[in-house]
Structure 1
């Protein structure tokens, strides 16, 4: 079992960046208040974008200036979960108060050219450290400091 912590929950009007919120309701269609500019960026198979703190630190080490949580369009910034061991089809469990929320990793996030405004080397520089897209298999409220685990 691998356990991590949600560092930030981020929503936006489409594109990047997204912005941290104190909490947000989540269901099969994603986070309440989160929008997508392009239809392929959302939907039930791509309801949430997950990114690890380790991936962000790796990008910073390559000289990318990070403007804070949500800078890369992620919905959940996660610390302590070993993303290198994750694969499409894996399930994650968020310990959200009385109701655990189950997520299913759909696919590796494919970074797009929208990210180029962060760094001209994107999207290529982000390959292999871009996070995952996930389905939401329940409903509940997400916020920072909740545990997230791969059972």
Structure 2
């Protein structure tokens, strides 16, 4: 398993998708400072403070013909270089020199993202239907700042 990658893009919006790139951001217990969600029933809160996704999954989807890009489906952090399929609820990630996260759940896709799928089948990123391609929700264990290019890594057991 590749346990060291990097932050390919940081994404924020005033609500809804797509989220647009920002060069850096403050990660708080509530999520990425300055980012908003429109539907708080399904997004946000301490156990869904951040939404994460894999650049490699996005690239695979583009190869399949989907017009998708980092931030399109609402992830706050687009990560690269990690063994995405091995990350699951309970996994921890460290970002940069300060931030520590715990994966809490797989993000269920919804119809607001269907325009980024050539066949409109947004279930293509459902963990239930396509394990290893889902976005992930995370809670913040340690706050701090992140920048595009920062390391993203799975800490050693017990670290």
TM-score calculated relative to the size of structure 2: 0.87
Query: Which residue number corresponds to residue 123 of structure 2?
Result: 124
Contact kept in structure 2, 1:26 and 1:139, CA below 8 Å = yes
Contact kept in structure 2, 1:12 and 1:18, CA below 8 Å = yes
- What is the root-mean-square deviation in Å for CA atoms of aligned residues? 1.3
CA positional deviation for 1:109: 1.2
Measured against aligned partners, the alpha-carbon deviations of 1:44-91 in whole angstroms (never above 9, x if no partner) come to 10011111011101111221012x421121100111011111110111
- Return 5+ residue gaps in structure 1 as ranges: none
Query: Which residue number corresponds to residue 23 of structure 2?
Result: 22
Q: Structure 1: how far apart are the matches of 2:125 and 2:64?
A: 10
SS in structure 2 opposite 1:124?
A: helix
Q: Structure 1: how far apart are the matches of 2:44 and 2:22?
A: 19
Q: Structure 2: how far apart are the matches of 1:108 and 1:49?
A: 9
1:31 paired to 2:32: yes
Contact kept in structure 2, 1:14 and 1:35, CA below 8 Å = yes
Contact kept in structure 2, 1:8 and 1:78, CA below 8 Å = yes
- Return 5+ residue gaps in structure 2 as ranges: none
Query: Which residue number corresponds to residue 48 of structure 1?
Result: 50
Query: Which residue number corresponds to residue 146 of structure 1?
Result: 150
TM-score calculated relative to the size of structure 1: 0.91
